[in-house]
Amino acid sequence: MDYSKIVFTLEFDDDAANSRANELLQKGWLLLSVGPKLVDLIGDNDQVYYNTAYVVGATDEQYQQYLEEQKQNEWH
């Protein structure tokens, strides 16, 4: 894996993070990091709530395609 060509990264940490990251991985993006992320403190005793965070990276070509898809999604 050649990380030197990465020009853009996205982090997903919501309940759909896994599927969103997988969609980009199927398009050739690289998985840069996976791990727990504190997303909330719950209740009076501040119980911690974690989600799994995924960080993916794109080359310039993949990033330009991503921008085009985002632009098209604005119109729908």
How many structural domains compose the chain? 1
What does the pLDDT average to over 41-56? 93
| pTM recorded for the entire structure | 0.85
Domain containing 13 equals: 3-74
Instruction: Say if residues 44 and 52 touch (Cβ distance below 8 Å).
Output: no
The CA-to-CA distance between both ends of the chain, in Å, stands at 35
Cα 14 from chain centroid? 9
More confident residue, 76 or 52: 52
Confidence tier at 44 by pLDDT (50, 70, 90): confident
CA distances from 33 to 49, 62, 70 (A): 19, 18, 23
Closest by Cα among 37, 7, 6, 10 to 21: 10
